[in-house]
Amino acid sequence: MLVGGAVITVDDDRRVLDPGTTVVEDDRIAAVGDRETILEAYSSVERIDLRESALLPGLIDSHGHAGHALTKNLASGTGDWLEVVRELYCRHAGERFWRAESRLAALSRLRAGVTTSLSYVGSVPRVDSPEYDVAAADGYRELGLRHVCAVGPPGPPYPLDCRDPRTGKEIAVDLDRAIETTRAVIDRLDGAADGRLSVCVALAELVPEFEGDGDATPPQASERSIAGLERVVELAAEHDLPIQAHCYGGQVEAAAKAVPEILSPSLSLAHCAGISEKEIELLADNGVAASHGPLTHAYATARFPVIEALDAGLTVAISTDGAAPDRSFDLLSQARIAAQLQRVHFEDTSLLPAGKLIEAMTIDAAATLGLDGEIGSLEPGKKADVIALDARSARLCPRYALAQRVVHYATGGDVAFAMVGGRVRLQDWNNVRY
C-alpha cells in the first residue's frame, strides 16, 4: 500500500485525491481512494509511507534515441552533430557502447520519474545486427523499467554504410537486411523481461523521399520510400506491433496516397514539424497519434501545430526526443517548454493547462504507444507503475493546487520514489533498487 499525500490519478474522472492512497497487489493496482477509507479497508496490508509526496502514474517518454546518454554535448552548436553521431553509431559503437549507454539512459530516465520509454537505436535505426538492439535494451532490463525498442529500415538511399567495430568489416545495409534484422530483434526482445520489453517497427522517416510541395503539386513518394512503407506495414501486421516514424511536412500526404494503410491507430509520428492542416486532418481521421518533442531541433526548423492537432482530435504526447546534444530526459521540465511555445505563438496564456500536460506525459503518451489499457493512470486493474514527488521540495511549496505545481515547478530532481509493475525501483533518491 502506497500511503500518499496527494494522488493524481489521471483516471477517467481525473480525480486528485488529497490525501489519497494506492493499493498494489502483485504487479497491479487493486484500489485507489481517499486515505482513511483505504486504510480502514486494507488495514493489514504492508504500507510504504509517502504522505509527504504527490503520487502520479509513472511518466512515459514516447520518443527518444539510444546513444544520446553517451553523446551529450558532442559537436553541440556546430551544426555537424547529426553527421558526427551517425558516424559514431553506425561505424564505431559496438555492443559495449550500447550496453553502457543503456544503463546510463535507463538510470537517467528512472531518476526523472520515467518508467516507460521508447528509443530508436541510433539517430536512425541501426539494423546491421540485432546484437546492438539487444545490448541497448540491457539497462532497462536490469533496472526493471518498461522499454520499447524502435527498430526498422533506416530509409533510402540504400545501402546504409555500417562497420563491425570488432572486425572492421564493412557492412552494406539494404532494405532486405533491415527487415531481416528487425525480425531477429522482434524474436529476441518483444515480450522479454516478463513483458516489460517490447518492440515497435520504426521508420527513420515516414516518407524520406518524395516530390511535390503539397500546394500546386501533391507530394508523391519515391518507389524506394513506398517499398519501405509496404514492408513495415506487412511486418508490423504479421507480429501485431505498433509502428513509429519521424515525420515532417508533406510526408503524411505522400504516405496517404502511396500506402494508405500505414495511417492507422497503430502508427505514432514523432516531431510532425511543418505538417499542413490537410495532413492534420488525415492523421485525425485515421486515429494516428503524435509525439511532440518541444526541444528537438526539428521544432526550430518548422513548427508542429500542436493546438491545431489537439483541436482536430489527435492524441498528442510530450516526449524528450532523447538526451543529446543539448536536451535531457527530464520530461517534467520539457512539458513546461511545450506549453510556453504554444502560448507565445498564439499570445494566449490559457493554452495547455496543467491537467492536459500531465495527460500528455501519462495516459496520452501510453495511448501513443498502444499501452493505455495497461499503464498511464492510477486505477484498479492497471499495472502498478507509480512515482512520487517529494512535496516538501521548495519548488512544490506552499502546498496547494498540487497538480498545477507539479507541472509548473517540479523537475525530475523531485522524484523520490518509483515503482514499476509493483516492484520498488527507486526510493529516497539515492537508493536505486535492482
Least reliable range by pLDDT among 22-31, 69-78, 151-160: 69-78
Angstrom distances, CA of residue 166 to CA of 75, 89, 123, 254: 25, 14, 21, 40
Q: What is the mean pLDDT of the chain?
A: 94
Angstrom distances, CA of residue 393 to CA of 55, 335, 410: 14, 19, 8
Q: State the amino acid at position 220 in one-letter form.
A: Q
Does residue 133 sit in the same domain as residue 175?
Answer: yes
Select from 316, 340, 368 the last residue of a domain: 368
Among 55, 56, 64, 151, smallest CA distance to 106 is for 64
Least reliable range by pLDDT among 72-76, 178-182, 266-270, 319-323: 72-76
Does residue 48 sit in the same domain as residue 78?
Answer: no
Question: Three-state DSSP class for 212?
Answer: coil
Range of the domain at 294: 59-368
Does residue 32 sit in the same domain as residue 69?
Answer: no
Does residue 75 sit in the same domain as residue 192?
Answer: yes
pLDDT tens per residue across span 163-219: 999 999 999 999 999 999 999 999 999 999 999 999 999 999 999 999 987 677 889
Give the CATH number of the domain where residue 280 resides: 3.20.20.140
Among 250, 199, 252, 203, smallest CA distance to 229 is for 203
Does residue 272 sit in the same domain as residue 282?
Answer: yes
Give the CATH number of the domain where residue 391 resides: 2.30.40.10
Is the bond preceding 353 in cis, omega lying within 30 degrees of 0? no
Does residue 350 sit in the same domain as residue 272?
Answer: yes
Does residue 219 sit in the same domain as residue 301?
Answer: yes
Tell me if 116 sits within 8 A of 145, measured CB to CB. yes
Grade residue 430 by pLDDT with cuts at 50, 70 and 90.
Answer: low
User: 0.85 exceeded by the pTM?
Assistant: yes
pLDDT for 296 equals 87
Mean pLDDT of 130-150: 98
Is the bond preceding 398 in cis, omega lying within 30 degrees of 0? yes
pLDDT tens per residue across span 399-410: 778 889 999 999
- CA 144/CA 421 separation, integer angstroms: 9
Does residue 90 sit in the same domain as residue 38?
Answer: no
Tell me if 328 sits within 8 A of 322, measured CB to CB. no
pLDDT tens per residue across span 266-315: 999 999 999 999 999 999 999 999 999 998 877 778 999 999 999 999 99
Tell me if 246 sits within 8 A of 274, measured CB to CB. no
pLDDT tens per residue across span 91-100: 999 999 999 9
Counting the structural domains of the chain, the total is 2
Residue 434: pLDDT over 50: no
Mean pLDDT of 23-29: 97
Residue 80: pLDDT over 90: no
- CA 203/CA 135 separation, integer angstroms: 20
Residue 251: pLDDT over 50: yes
In three-state form (DSSP H/G/I as H, E/B as E, the rest C), the secondary structure along 3-23 is EEEEEECCCCCCCEECCEEEE
Region label for 193, one of left (φ > 0), alpha (ψ between -120 and 50) or beta (otherwise) = left
H helices of 7-74, where? 35-41
Mean pLDDT of 320-340: 94
Residue with cell string 532497462: 140
- pLDDT more than 70, % of the chain: 98
| DSSP letter, residue 262 | G
- CA 30/CA 42 separation, integer angstroms: 10
Does residue 259 sit in the same domain as residue 357?
Answer: yes
Among 34, 48, 90, 36, smallest CA distance to 66 is for 90
pLDDT for 67 equals 96
pLDDT for 429 equals 53
H helices of 259-305, where? 277-285, 297-301
Among 132, 110, 79, 68, smallest CA distance to 328 is for 68
